[in-house]
Structure 1
Amino acid sequence: MDICFISTVVPGMLKGFLNQGVPISLELCFIQSYFYFLVGTAEFLLFAVMSFDRYLAICKPLHYTIIMHRLTYCQLIVGVWLGAFFTTLLPTVLIIKLQFCNNLIDNFFCDLSPLLTNSCTDTSKIELLSTFAASTLYISILVTIISYLKIGLVVKKIDSADRIGKALSTCSSHAIVVTLIYSSCIFLYAKPGKGHGASLNKGVAILNTVVVPLLNPFIYTLRNQSVRRSFSDKLLHIFFKKQ
Protein backbone atom coordinates (compact mmCIF):
# COMPACT_ATOMS: atom_id res chain seq x y z
CA MET A 1 0.00 0.00 0.00
CA ASP A 2 2.91 2.36 0.73
CA ILE A 3 4.33 1.59 -2.72
CA CYS A 4 0.99 2.44 -4.35
CA PHE A 5 0.68 5.61 -2.26
CA ILE A 6 4.15 6.89 -3.17
CA SER A 7 3.69 5.96 -6.84
CA THR A 8 0.69 8.30 -7.19
CA VAL A 9 2.74 11.36 -6.19
CA VAL A 10 6.53 10.96 -6.21
CA PRO A 11 7.25 10.27 -9.94
CA GLY A 12 5.36 13.41 -11.04
CA MET A 13 6.88 15.40 -8.18
CA LEU A 14 10.45 14.46 -9.18
CA LYS A 15 9.71 15.22 -12.83
CA GLY A 16 8.37 18.64 -11.82
CA PHE A 17 11.43 19.41 -9.70
CA LEU A 18 13.80 18.48 -12.52
CA ASN A 19 11.91 20.50 -15.16
CA GLN A 20 10.93 23.53 -13.05
CA GLY A 21 7.29 22.45 -13.15
CA VAL A 22 5.61 20.01 -15.52
CA PRO A 23 2.38 20.24 -17.56
CA ILE A 24 -0.38 17.77 -16.69
CA SER A 25 -3.77 17.40 -18.34
CA LEU A 26 -6.92 17.95 -16.33
CA GLU A 27 -7.87 14.30 -16.82
CA LEU A 28 -4.55 13.03 -15.45
CA CYS A 29 -4.84 15.48 -12.57
CA PHE A 30 -8.24 14.01 -11.63
CA ILE A 31 -6.86 10.47 -11.92
CA GLN A 32 -3.89 11.29 -9.68
CA SER A 33 -6.12 12.99 -7.12
CA TYR A 34 -8.57 10.06 -7.06
CA PHE A 35 -5.93 7.36 -6.60
CA TYR A 36 -4.11 9.45 -3.99
CA PHE A 37 -7.25 9.69 -1.86
CA LEU A 38 -8.30 6.11 -2.63
CA VAL A 39 -5.05 4.63 -1.34
CA GLY A 40 -4.80 7.17 1.49
CA THR A 41 -8.31 6.35 2.73
CA ALA A 42 -7.60 2.63 2.46
CA GLU A 43 -4.48 3.19 4.57
CA PHE A 44 -6.53 4.95 7.29
CA LEU A 45 -8.93 2.00 7.41
CA LEU A 46 -6.03 -0.45 7.44
CA PHE A 47 -4.49 1.37 10.43
CA ALA A 48 -7.79 0.83 12.28
CA VAL A 49 -7.71 -2.87 11.38
CA MET A 50 -4.10 -3.13 12.56
CA SER A 51 -5.03 -1.45 15.85
CA PHE A 52 -7.82 -3.98 16.37
CA ASP A 53 -5.41 -6.80 15.49
CA ARG A 54 -2.95 -5.64 18.18
CA TYR A 55 -5.79 -5.31 20.69
CA LEU A 56 -6.77 -8.94 20.06
CA ALA A 57 -3.16 -10.17 20.17
CA ILE A 58 -2.49 -8.57 23.58
CA CYS A 59 -5.90 -8.47 25.30
CA LYS A 60 -7.39 -11.73 23.99
CA PRO A 61 -4.41 -13.93 23.07
CA LEU A 62 -6.27 -17.23 23.57
CA HIS A 63 -9.03 -16.19 21.18
CA TYR A 64 -6.74 -14.54 18.62
CA THR A 65 -6.32 -17.52 16.26
CA ILE A 66 -10.05 -18.22 16.39
CA ILE A 67 -11.08 -14.66 15.50
CA MET A 68 -8.25 -13.69 13.13
CA HIS A 69 -8.15 -16.50 10.58
CA ARG A 70 -7.64 -16.42 6.80
CA LEU A 71 -11.29 -15.71 5.95
CA THR A 72 -11.32 -12.78 8.39
CA TYR A 73 -8.17 -11.39 6.79
CA CYS A 74 -9.75 -11.51 3.33
CA GLN A 75 -13.00 -9.92 4.56
CA LEU A 76 -11.12 -7.09 6.28
CA ILE A 77 -8.96 -6.34 3.24
CA VAL A 78 -11.97 -6.37 0.90
CA GLY A 79 -13.82 -4.12 3.36
CA VAL A 80 -10.89 -1.71 3.49
CA TRP A 81 -10.74 -1.27 -0.29
CA LEU A 82 -14.51 -1.12 -0.79
CA GLY A 83 -14.84 1.44 1.99
CA ALA A 84 -12.09 3.55 0.43
CA PHE A 85 -13.62 3.25 -3.05
CA PHE A 86 -17.11 4.41 -2.08
CA THR A 87 -15.80 7.13 0.26
CA THR A 88 -13.73 8.82 -2.45
CA LEU A 89 -15.99 8.18 -5.46
CA LEU A 90 -18.70 10.84 -5.00
CA PRO A 91 -16.37 13.79 -4.13
CA THR A 92 -14.26 12.93 -7.18
CA VAL A 93 -17.31 12.85 -9.48
CA LEU A 94 -18.40 16.27 -8.20
CA ILE A 95 -14.89 17.71 -8.64
CA ILE A 96 -14.81 16.49 -12.26
CA LYS A 97 -17.99 18.49 -12.95
CA LEU A 98 -16.42 21.76 -11.75
CA GLN A 99 -15.28 24.50 -14.10
CA PHE A 100 -11.69 25.70 -13.70
CA CYS A 101 -10.45 29.18 -14.55
CA ASN A 102 -6.82 28.80 -13.46
CA ASN A 103 -4.43 26.31 -15.07
CA LEU A 104 -1.65 26.51 -12.45
CA ILE A 105 -1.55 24.07 -9.50
CA ASP A 106 0.28 25.62 -6.55
CA ASN A 107 1.47 22.26 -5.26
CA PHE A 108 3.63 19.32 -6.33
CA PHE A 109 0.57 17.12 -6.96
CA CYS A 110 -3.17 17.48 -7.56
CA ASP A 111 -4.33 17.79 -3.97
CA LEU A 112 -7.89 18.76 -3.06
CA SER A 113 -7.17 22.28 -1.79
CA PRO A 114 -5.41 23.64 -4.93
CA LEU A 115 -8.05 22.02 -7.16
CA LEU A 116 -10.84 23.80 -5.28
CA THR A 117 -8.85 27.04 -5.32
CA ASN A 118 -8.62 26.86 -9.12
CA SER A 119 -12.37 26.41 -9.56
CA CYS A 120 -14.55 29.24 -10.88
CA THR A 121 -17.73 27.68 -9.47
CA ASP A 122 -19.09 27.29 -5.95
CA THR A 123 -17.30 24.48 -4.09
CA SER A 124 -19.08 24.67 -0.72
CA LYS A 125 -20.99 21.40 -1.29
CA ILE A 126 -17.81 19.57 -2.23
CA GLU A 127 -15.99 20.95 0.82
CA LEU A 128 -18.86 19.78 3.05
CA LEU A 129 -18.92 16.35 1.41
CA SER A 130 -15.13 16.07 1.64
CA THR A 131 -15.31 16.90 5.35
CA PHE A 132 -17.85 14.10 5.72
CA ALA A 133 -15.57 11.76 3.71
CA ALA A 134 -12.78 12.65 6.13
CA SER A 135 -14.83 10.80 8.78
CA THR A 136 -12.85 7.69 7.78
CA LEU A 137 -9.83 9.43 9.32
CA TYR A 138 -11.76 10.16 12.53
CA ILE A 139 -13.12 6.58 12.69
CA SER A 140 -9.61 5.20 12.26
CA ILE A 141 -8.28 7.50 15.00
CA LEU A 142 -11.15 6.53 17.33
CA VAL A 143 -10.61 2.79 16.79
CA THR A 144 -6.87 3.25 17.34
CA ILE A 145 -7.32 5.26 20.55
CA ILE A 146 -9.85 2.78 22.01
CA SER A 147 -7.63 -0.18 21.10
CA TYR A 148 -4.56 1.37 22.70
CA LEU A 149 -6.48 2.42 25.81
CA LYS A 150 -7.64 -1.17 26.29
CA ILE A 151 -4.10 -2.40 25.61
CA GLY A 152 -2.76 0.06 28.19
CA LEU A 153 -5.21 -1.20 30.83
CA VAL A 154 -4.15 -4.80 30.18
CA VAL A 155 -0.41 -4.00 30.15
CA LYS A 156 -0.83 -2.13 33.43
CA LYS A 157 -1.94 -5.38 35.10
CA ILE A 158 0.98 -7.45 33.74
CA ASP A 159 3.63 -8.29 36.36
CA SER A 160 6.28 -9.77 34.07
CA ALA A 161 8.76 -7.30 32.59
CA ASP A 162 9.34 -9.62 29.61
CA ARG A 163 5.64 -9.74 28.77
CA ILE A 164 5.37 -5.94 29.08
CA GLY A 165 8.35 -5.54 26.74
CA LYS A 166 6.83 -7.97 24.26
CA ALA A 167 3.48 -6.13 24.34
CA LEU A 168 5.15 -2.74 23.82
CA SER A 169 7.27 -4.17 21.01
CA THR A 170 4.12 -5.41 19.29
CA CYS A 171 2.57 -1.93 19.33
CA SER A 172 5.55 0.41 19.05
CA SER A 173 6.04 0.43 15.27
CA HIS A 174 2.34 0.84 14.53
CA ALA A 175 2.00 3.59 17.16
CA ILE A 176 4.90 5.60 15.66
CA VAL A 177 3.53 5.35 12.11
CA VAL A 178 -0.06 6.28 12.97
CA THR A 179 1.11 9.24 15.06
CA LEU A 180 3.05 10.67 12.11
CA ILE A 181 0.30 9.97 9.58
CA TYR A 182 -2.64 11.11 11.69
CA SER A 183 -1.02 14.36 12.80
CA SER A 184 -0.15 15.43 9.24
CA CYS A 185 -3.50 14.34 7.74
CA ILE A 186 -5.57 16.03 10.44
CA PHE A 187 -3.84 19.29 9.58
CA LEU A 188 -4.35 18.86 5.84
CA TYR A 189 -7.79 17.30 5.57
CA ALA A 190 -9.77 17.92 8.76
CA LYS A 191 -11.00 21.08 6.99
CA PRO A 192 -10.12 20.54 3.31
CA GLY A 193 -11.14 23.97 2.00
CA LYS A 194 -9.20 26.84 0.47
CA GLY A 195 -8.03 28.48 3.64
CA HIS A 196 -4.70 26.85 4.48
CA GLY A 197 -1.45 28.53 3.52
CA ALA A 198 -0.09 26.91 0.36
CA SER A 199 3.55 26.83 1.52
CA LEU A 200 2.71 25.27 4.87
CA ASN A 201 0.38 22.77 3.20
CA LYS A 202 3.13 21.68 0.81
CA GLY A 203 5.58 21.16 3.68
CA VAL A 204 3.12 19.00 5.60
CA ALA A 205 2.18 17.13 2.41
CA ILE A 206 5.86 16.22 1.88
CA LEU A 207 5.83 14.62 5.35
CA ASN A 208 2.65 12.73 4.55
CA THR A 209 3.43 11.60 0.99
CA VAL A 210 7.20 11.07 1.03
CA VAL A 211 8.84 11.04 4.48
CA VAL A 212 6.48 8.71 6.36
CA PRO A 213 6.20 6.06 3.59
CA LEU A 214 10.00 6.18 3.30
CA LEU A 215 10.41 5.57 7.04
CA ASN A 216 7.74 2.87 7.30
CA PRO A 217 9.93 -0.08 6.20
CA PHE A 218 12.56 0.86 8.79
CA ILE A 219 10.01 1.46 11.55
CA TYR A 220 8.25 -1.86 10.95
CA THR A 221 11.29 -4.07 10.41
CA LEU A 222 14.07 -2.75 12.66
CA ARG A 223 12.25 -3.98 15.78
CA ASN A 224 12.72 -7.52 14.42
CA GLN A 225 15.80 -9.13 16.00
CA SER A 226 16.78 -11.01 12.85
CA VAL A 227 16.63 -7.84 10.76
CA ARG A 228 18.62 -5.87 13.34
CA ARG A 229 21.23 -8.63 13.49
CA SER A 230 21.57 -8.77 9.71
CA PHE A 231 21.73 -4.97 9.52
CA SER A 232 24.45 -4.84 12.21
CA ASP A 233 26.45 -7.61 10.51
CA LYS A 234 26.28 -5.75 7.20
CA LEU A 235 27.47 -2.50 8.79
CA LEU A 236 30.32 -4.28 10.57
CA HIS A 237 31.31 -6.00 7.32
CA ILE A 238 31.41 -2.65 5.48
CA PHE A 239 33.34 -1.00 8.33
CA PHE A 240 36.04 -3.69 8.60
CA LYS A 241 36.29 -3.95 4.80
CA LYS A 242 37.19 -0.24 4.69
CA GLN A 243 39.73 -0.77 7.48
Structure 2
Amino acid sequence: MKTWNQSTVTEFIILGFPSTKHIQILLFISFLFTYILTILGNITLLVTLQREPRLRTPMYFFLSTLYVLEIGYTSVTVPKLLSVFLNRDRAISLSACLVQSYFFFLLGSTECFLLAAIAYDLYLAICNPLRYPALMSSKMCIQLALFCCVTGFLNPCLPTFLVSRLKFCGSIINLFFCDVPPLLSLSCTDAYVSATTIFISSSIIVLGSFLMTSLSYTCILVTILKMTSSKGCQKAFSTCTYHLTVVSLYYGTVIFMYTSPEAQKSMKVNKVVSVVYSVGTPMLNPIIYSLRNEDVKKTLRKMLLNMFPARK
Protein backbone atom coordinates (compact mmCIF):
# COMPACT_ATOMS: atom_id res chain seq x y z
CA MET A 1 0.00 0.00 0.00
CA LYS A 2 1.36 3.36 -1.00
CA THR A 3 0.68 6.34 1.23
CA TRP A 4 -0.47 9.64 -0.24
CA ASN A 5 -2.67 12.27 1.42
CA GLN A 6 -5.02 9.31 1.89
CA SER A 7 -4.67 5.58 1.49
CA THR A 8 -4.76 4.40 -2.10
CA VAL A 9 -6.49 1.10 -2.75
CA THR A 10 -4.51 -1.43 -4.78
CA GLU A 11 -6.84 -4.40 -4.29
CA PHE A 12 -10.59 -4.71 -4.79
CA ILE A 13 -13.32 -6.98 -3.57
CA ILE A 14 -15.79 -8.36 -6.14
CA LEU A 15 -19.19 -8.15 -4.47
CA GLY A 16 -21.01 -10.34 -6.99
CA PHE A 17 -24.57 -11.25 -5.97
CA PRO A 18 -24.81 -11.03 -2.16
CA SER A 19 -27.35 -13.51 -0.80
CA THR A 20 -27.77 -16.47 1.54
CA LYS A 21 -25.55 -19.54 1.28
CA HIS A 22 -28.28 -21.64 -0.37
CA ILE A 23 -28.93 -18.97 -3.00
CA GLN A 24 -25.19 -18.68 -3.64
CA ILE A 25 -25.01 -22.43 -4.31
CA LEU A 26 -28.00 -22.23 -6.64
CA LEU A 27 -26.45 -19.31 -8.50
CA PHE A 28 -23.13 -21.16 -8.71
CA ILE A 29 -24.81 -24.20 -10.29
CA SER A 30 -26.80 -22.00 -12.71
CA PHE A 31 -23.79 -20.01 -13.90
CA LEU A 32 -21.58 -23.10 -14.07
CA PHE A 33 -24.17 -24.89 -16.22
CA THR A 34 -24.55 -21.83 -18.45
CA TYR A 35 -20.77 -21.48 -18.79
CA ILE A 36 -20.27 -25.15 -19.70
CA LEU A 37 -23.15 -24.99 -22.18
CA THR A 38 -21.69 -21.84 -23.74
CA ILE A 39 -18.19 -23.27 -24.12
CA LEU A 40 -19.37 -26.64 -25.43
CA GLY A 41 -21.94 -25.05 -27.77
CA ASN A 42 -19.49 -22.60 -29.33
CA ILE A 43 -16.67 -25.14 -29.64
CA THR A 44 -18.97 -27.78 -31.14
CA LEU A 45 -20.31 -25.43 -33.78
CA LEU A 46 -16.84 -24.03 -34.46
CA VAL A 47 -15.55 -27.56 -35.15
CA THR A 48 -18.66 -28.36 -37.21
CA LEU A 49 -18.20 -25.34 -39.46
CA GLN A 50 -14.53 -26.10 -39.99
CA ARG A 51 -15.06 -29.77 -40.87
CA GLU A 52 -17.68 -29.26 -43.57
CA PRO A 53 -16.34 -27.76 -46.87
CA ARG A 54 -19.86 -26.68 -47.90
CA LEU A 55 -20.02 -24.40 -44.88
CA ARG A 56 -16.81 -22.53 -45.67
CA THR A 57 -18.65 -19.45 -46.90
CA PRO A 58 -18.23 -15.81 -45.83
CA MET A 59 -21.21 -16.04 -43.46
CA TYR A 60 -19.82 -19.04 -41.63
CA PHE A 61 -16.34 -17.52 -41.61
CA PHE A 62 -17.75 -14.58 -39.64
CA LEU A 63 -19.76 -16.91 -37.41
CA SER A 64 -16.64 -18.97 -36.65
CA THR A 65 -14.90 -15.76 -35.60
CA LEU A 66 -17.93 -14.87 -33.47
CA TYR A 67 -17.81 -18.24 -31.69
CA VAL A 68 -14.14 -17.73 -30.82
CA LEU A 69 -14.99 -14.30 -29.43
CA GLU A 70 -17.87 -15.68 -27.37
CA ILE A 71 -15.63 -18.30 -25.77
CA GLY A 72 -13.19 -15.58 -24.71
CA TYR A 73 -15.95 -13.10 -23.79
CA THR A 74 -17.62 -15.37 -21.28
CA SER A 75 -14.32 -16.80 -20.00
CA VAL A 76 -13.11 -13.33 -19.00
CA THR A 77 -15.80 -12.95 -16.33
CA VAL A 78 -17.53 -16.21 -15.39
CA PRO A 79 -14.61 -18.23 -13.86
CA LYS A 80 -13.90 -15.40 -11.40
CA LEU A 81 -17.62 -15.13 -10.62
CA LEU A 82 -17.79 -18.87 -9.86
CA SER A 83 -14.93 -18.41 -7.42
CA VAL A 84 -16.81 -15.54 -5.79
CA PHE A 85 -19.91 -17.72 -5.36
CA LEU A 86 -17.80 -20.24 -3.45
CA ASN A 87 -16.40 -17.44 -1.26
CA ARG A 88 -12.90 -18.61 -2.08
CA ASP A 89 -11.40 -15.57 -3.73
CA ARG A 90 -13.32 -12.31 -3.87
CA ALA A 91 -10.15 -10.21 -3.97
CA ILE A 92 -8.59 -8.99 -7.20
CA SER A 93 -5.53 -6.76 -7.58
CA LEU A 94 -5.67 -3.46 -9.44
CA SER A 95 -3.49 -4.81 -12.26
CA ALA A 96 -5.60 -7.96 -12.64
CA CYS A 97 -8.74 -5.82 -12.54
CA LEU A 98 -7.43 -3.60 -15.34
CA VAL A 99 -6.45 -6.64 -17.42
CA GLN A 100 -9.93 -8.16 -17.00
CA SER A 101 -11.57 -4.84 -17.89
CA TYR A 102 -9.31 -4.43 -20.95
CA PHE A 103 -10.06 -7.85 -22.40
CA PHE A 104 -13.76 -7.54 -21.67
CA PHE A 105 -13.81 -4.20 -23.48
CA LEU A 106 -11.65 -5.60 -26.31
CA LEU A 107 -13.86 -8.62 -26.96
CA GLY A 108 -17.05 -6.57 -26.61
CA SER A 109 -15.86 -3.91 -29.07
CA THR A 110 -14.77 -6.57 -31.55
CA GLU A 111 -18.14 -8.28 -31.30
CA CYS A 112 -19.97 -5.01 -31.98
CA PHE A 113 -18.19 -4.59 -35.30
CA LEU A 114 -18.39 -8.29 -36.12
CA LEU A 115 -22.18 -8.18 -35.77
CA ALA A 116 -22.12 -5.23 -38.17
CA ALA A 117 -19.97 -7.29 -40.59
CA ILE A 118 -22.43 -10.20 -40.39
CA ALA A 119 -25.31 -7.82 -41.13
CA TYR A 120 -23.38 -6.39 -44.09
CA ASP A 121 -22.73 -9.89 -45.41
CA LEU A 122 -26.46 -10.65 -45.20
CA TYR A 123 -27.22 -7.39 -46.96
CA LEU A 124 -24.96 -8.30 -49.88
CA ALA A 125 -26.31 -11.86 -50.07
CA ILE A 126 -29.96 -10.76 -50.13
CA CYS A 127 -29.81 -7.38 -51.86
CA ASN A 128 -26.99 -8.09 -54.36
CA PRO A 129 -27.03 -11.87 -54.92
CA LEU A 130 -25.51 -11.73 -58.42
CA ARG A 131 -22.57 -9.57 -57.35
CA TYR A 132 -22.20 -11.23 -53.94
CA PRO A 133 -19.26 -13.58 -54.84
CA ALA A 134 -17.25 -10.64 -56.20
CA LEU A 135 -18.16 -8.20 -53.43
CA MET A 136 -17.65 -10.62 -50.52
CA SER A 137 -14.46 -12.33 -51.63
CA SER A 138 -12.09 -14.21 -49.31
CA LYS A 139 -9.85 -11.15 -49.23
CA MET A 140 -12.76 -8.92 -48.21
CA CYS A 141 -13.76 -11.37 -45.44
CA ILE A 142 -10.25 -11.34 -43.99
CA GLN A 143 -10.05 -7.55 -44.22
CA LEU A 144 -13.36 -7.09 -42.42
CA ALA A 145 -12.39 -9.58 -39.70
CA LEU A 146 -9.01 -7.87 -39.24
CA PHE A 147 -10.70 -4.47 -39.04
CA CYS A 148 -13.00 -5.77 -36.29
CA CYS A 149 -10.10 -7.29 -34.34
CA VAL A 150 -7.74 -4.32 -34.69
CA THR A 151 -10.48 -1.86 -33.73
CA GLY A 152 -11.38 -4.02 -30.74
CA PHE A 153 -7.71 -4.20 -29.72
CA LEU A 154 -7.13 -0.43 -29.92
CA ASN A 155 -10.43 0.79 -28.47
CA PRO A 156 -9.81 -0.17 -24.80
CA CYS A 157 -6.26 1.21 -24.73
CA LEU A 158 -7.11 4.82 -23.85
CA PRO A 159 -9.90 3.99 -21.34
CA THR A 160 -7.68 1.45 -19.57
CA PHE A 161 -4.79 3.93 -19.42
CA LEU A 162 -7.03 6.67 -18.01
CA VAL A 163 -8.46 4.37 -15.35
CA SER A 164 -4.96 3.17 -14.40
CA ARG A 165 -3.98 6.78 -13.64
CA LEU A 166 -6.76 7.22 -11.08
CA LYS A 167 -6.37 6.83 -7.32
CA PHE A 168 -8.97 4.68 -5.61
CA CYS A 169 -10.38 5.06 -2.11
CA GLY A 170 -13.21 2.53 -2.28
CA SER A 171 -12.47 -1.18 -2.63
CA ILE A 172 -15.91 -2.80 -3.14
CA ILE A 173 -16.82 -3.41 -6.80
CA ASN A 174 -20.60 -3.74 -6.79
CA LEU A 175 -20.66 -5.98 -9.84
CA PHE A 176 -19.48 -9.49 -10.72
CA PHE A 177 -16.42 -8.40 -12.72
CA CYS A 178 -14.14 -5.39 -13.14
CA ASP A 179 -15.91 -2.96 -15.41
CA VAL A 180 -15.14 0.68 -16.05
CA PRO A 181 -18.29 2.31 -14.55
CA PRO A 182 -17.91 0.78 -11.05
CA LEU A 183 -14.17 1.52 -11.08
CA LEU A 184 -14.82 5.17 -11.86
CA SER A 185 -17.26 5.37 -8.95
CA LEU A 186 -14.51 4.21 -6.57
CA SER A 187 -12.05 6.92 -7.61
CA CYS A 188 -11.09 9.51 -4.99
CA THR A 189 -9.57 11.79 -7.65
CA ASP A 190 -11.48 13.80 -10.24
CA ALA A 191 -12.61 11.27 -12.86
CA TYR A 192 -14.59 13.69 -15.02
CA VAL A 193 -12.12 13.70 -17.93
CA SER A 194 -11.74 9.91 -17.77
CA ALA A 195 -15.49 9.33 -17.54
CA THR A 196 -16.25 11.72 -20.40
CA THR A 197 -13.56 10.23 -22.64
CA ILE A 198 -14.72 6.68 -21.93
CA PHE A 199 -18.36 7.65 -22.51
CA ILE A 200 -17.51 9.21 -25.89
CA SER A 201 -15.34 6.24 -26.89
CA SER A 202 -18.05 3.75 -25.93
CA SER A 203 -20.73 5.76 -27.71
CA ILE A 204 -18.72 5.91 -30.94
CA ILE A 205 -18.04 2.16 -30.91
CA VAL A 206 -21.46 0.95 -29.79
CA LEU A 207 -23.71 3.45 -31.55
CA GLY A 208 -21.51 3.55 -34.66
CA SER A 209 -21.58 -0.20 -35.16
CA PHE A 210 -25.27 -0.28 -34.23
CA LEU A 211 -26.09 2.29 -36.92
CA MET A 212 -24.15 0.30 -39.52
CA THR A 213 -25.98 -2.86 -38.49
CA SER A 214 -29.36 -1.12 -38.52
CA LEU A 215 -28.69 0.35 -41.97
CA SER A 216 -27.91 -3.12 -43.38
CA TYR A 217 -31.07 -4.62 -41.91
CA THR A 218 -33.18 -1.70 -43.12
CA CYS A 219 -31.95 -2.27 -46.69
CA ILE A 220 -32.60 -6.00 -46.28
CA LEU A 221 -36.16 -5.35 -45.09
CA VAL A 222 -36.86 -3.07 -48.03
CA THR A 223 -35.54 -5.73 -50.43
CA ILE A 224 -37.60 -8.49 -48.77
CA LEU A 225 -40.79 -6.44 -49.06
CA LYS A 226 -40.15 -6.06 -52.80
CA MET A 227 -39.72 -9.81 -53.38
CA THR A 228 -42.35 -11.45 -55.55
CA SER A 229 -41.54 -15.02 -54.47
CA SER A 230 -43.33 -15.79 -51.20
CA LYS A 231 -40.99 -18.72 -50.49
CA GLY A 232 -37.86 -16.61 -50.97
CA CYS A 233 -39.37 -13.79 -48.94
CA GLN A 234 -40.24 -16.13 -46.08
CA LYS A 235 -36.77 -17.71 -46.04
CA ALA A 236 -34.97 -14.35 -46.06
CA PHE A 237 -37.29 -12.89 -43.45
CA SER A 238 -36.86 -15.95 -41.20
CA THR A 239 -33.06 -15.70 -41.40
CA CYS A 240 -33.04 -12.00 -40.57
CA THR A 241 -35.53 -12.41 -37.72
CA TYR A 242 -33.22 -14.74 -35.80
CA HIS A 243 -30.23 -12.52 -36.40
CA LEU A 244 -32.15 -9.43 -35.33
CA THR A 245 -33.11 -11.20 -32.10
CA VAL A 246 -29.53 -11.55 -30.89
CA VAL A 247 -28.51 -8.16 -32.28
CA SER A 248 -31.36 -6.42 -30.44
CA LEU A 249 -30.63 -8.31 -27.23
CA TYR A 250 -26.91 -7.52 -27.34
CA TYR A 251 -27.05 -3.90 -28.46
CA GLY A 252 -30.03 -3.07 -26.27
CA THR A 253 -28.22 -4.09 -23.09
CA VAL A 254 -24.82 -2.68 -24.12
CA ILE A 255 -26.31 0.69 -25.11
CA PHE A 256 -28.10 0.84 -21.75
CA MET A 257 -24.89 0.08 -19.83
CA TYR A 258 -22.33 2.22 -21.64
CA THR A 259 -24.08 5.07 -23.42
CA SER A 260 -26.93 5.86 -21.03
CA PRO A 261 -26.17 8.17 -18.06
CA GLU A 262 -29.22 6.72 -16.29
CA ALA A 263 -27.49 3.36 -16.10
CA GLN A 264 -25.39 4.50 -13.16
CA LYS A 265 -28.41 5.00 -10.90
CA SER A 266 -29.24 1.37 -10.19
CA MET A 267 -26.49 -1.17 -9.67
CA LYS A 268 -29.07 -3.96 -9.23
CA VAL A 269 -30.42 -3.28 -12.71
CA ASN A 270 -26.84 -3.00 -14.02
CA LYS A 271 -26.04 -6.48 -12.73
CA VAL A 272 -29.04 -8.03 -14.46
CA VAL A 273 -28.26 -6.21 -17.70
CA SER A 274 -24.59 -7.24 -17.46
CA VAL A 275 -25.58 -10.89 -17.08
CA VAL A 276 -27.69 -10.68 -20.24
CA TYR A 277 -24.94 -9.41 -22.56
CA SER A 278 -21.90 -11.06 -20.92
CA VAL A 279 -23.41 -14.48 -20.13
CA GLY A 280 -26.76 -14.78 -21.91
CA THR A 281 -25.88 -13.77 -25.47
CA PRO A 282 -22.72 -15.93 -25.70
CA MET A 283 -24.91 -18.94 -24.86
CA LEU A 284 -27.74 -17.97 -27.24
CA ASN A 285 -25.63 -16.98 -30.26
CA PRO A 286 -24.80 -20.55 -31.38
CA ILE A 287 -28.47 -21.51 -31.13
CA ILE A 288 -29.80 -18.46 -32.93
CA TYR A 289 -27.15 -18.16 -35.65
CA SER A 290 -26.43 -21.78 -36.53
CA LEU A 291 -28.90 -24.29 -35.10
CA ARG A 292 -31.74 -22.67 -37.04
CA ASN A 293 -29.87 -23.53 -40.25
CA GLU A 294 -30.66 -26.88 -41.89
CA ASP A 295 -27.19 -27.25 -43.43
CA VAL A 296 -25.53 -26.78 -40.05
CA LYS A 297 -27.92 -29.19 -38.34
CA LYS A 298 -27.30 -31.86 -40.99
CA THR A 299 -23.54 -31.46 -40.68
CA LEU A 300 -23.70 -31.55 -36.89
CA ARG A 301 -25.89 -34.65 -36.97
CA LYS A 302 -23.49 -36.35 -39.38
CA MET A 303 -20.50 -35.48 -37.21
CA LEU A 304 -22.18 -36.81 -34.05
CA LEU A 305 -23.15 -40.04 -35.82
CA ASN A 306 -19.54 -40.54 -36.89
CA MET A 307 -18.35 -39.95 -33.34
CA PHE A 308 -21.03 -42.10 -31.72
CA PRO A 309 -22.10 -44.73 -34.30
CA ALA A 310 -25.37 -46.49 -33.60
CA ARG A 311 -25.02 -50.03 -32.30
CA LYS A 312 -26.42 -52.81 -34.45
- TM surpasses 0.5: yes
Q: 1:108 aligns with which of 176, 187, 202?
A: 176
Alignment coverage as a number of residue pairs = 233
Asked if the contact 2:169–2:188 (Cα under 8 Å) also holds between the matched residues in 1, the reply is yes
Pair 1:113–1:193, CA change in 2 (3 A): farther
Report the counterpart of residue 283 of structure 2 in structure 1: 214
1:61 aligns with 2:129: yes
Report the counterpart of residue 76 of structure 1 in structure 2: 144
Report the counterpart of residue 184 of structure 1 in structure 2: 253
1:148 aligns with 2:217: yes
Pair 1:140–1:100, CA change in 2 (3 A): same
Q: 1:139 aligns with which of 200, 208, 213?
A: 208
Point out where structure 1 has 5 or more consecutive residues left out of the alignment.
233-243
Q: Aligned partners of 1:10 and 1:21: how far apart in 2?
A: 13
Asked if the contact 1:5–1:39 (Cα under 8 Å) also holds between the matched residues in 2, the reply is yes
CA drift at 1:111: 1.0
- Supply the AA of the counterpart residue of 1:51: A
1:52 aligns with 2:106: no
Report the counterpart of residue 119 of structure 1 in structure 2: 187
Asked if the contact 2:74–2:279 (Cα under 8 Å) also holds between the matched residues in 1, the reply is yes
Report the counterpart of residue 170 of structure 1 in structure 2: 239
Q: Aligned partners of 1:192 and 1:38: how far apart in 2?
A: 22
Asked if the contact 1:169–1:223 (Cα under 8 Å) also holds between the matched residues in 2, the reply is no
Asked if the contact 2:263–2:270 (Cα under 8 Å) also holds between the matched residues in 1, the reply is no
3-state DSSP of counterpart to 1:8: helix
Report the counterpart of residue 32 of structure 1 in structure 2: 100
Report the counterpart of residue 199 of structure 1 in structure 2: 268
Identity of aligned residues (%): 39
Asked if the contact 2:256–2:263 (Cα under 8 Å) also holds between the matched residues in 1, the reply is no
Q: TM-score, normalised by structure 2?
A: 0.71
CA drift at 1:196: 2.6
Q: Aligned partners of 2:102 and 2:167: how far apart in 1?
A: 17
3-state DSSP of counterpart to 1:24: strand
Q: Aligned partners of 1:225 and 1:50: how far apart in 2?
A: 19
Q: Aligned partners of 1:56 and 1:18: how far apart in 2?
A: 48
> What does the per-residue CA deviation read over 1:112-148, in whole Å, with 9 as the maximum and x for residues that have no partner?
1110111111111111111211111111111111111
Q: Aligned partners of 2:140 and 2:265: how far apart in 1?
A: 40
Pair 1:230–1:147, CA change in 2 (3 A): closer
Pair 1:228–1:4, CA change in 2 (3 A): same
Q: TM-score, normalised by structure 1?
A: 0.90
Report the counterpart of residue 223 of structure 1 in structure 2: 292
CA drift at 1:166: 2.1
CA drift at 1:24: 0.8
Report the counterpart of residue 9 of structure 1 in structure 2: 77
3-state DSSP of counterpart to 2:228: coil
Point out where structure 2 has 5 or more consecutive residues left out of the alignment.
1-68, 302-312
Asked if the contact 1:113–1:192 (Cα under 8 Å) also holds between the matched residues in 2, the reply is no
Asked if the contact 2:257–2:263 (Cα under 8 Å) also holds between the matched residues in 1, the reply is no
Q: Aligned partners of 2:260 and 2:232: how far apart in 1?
A: 41
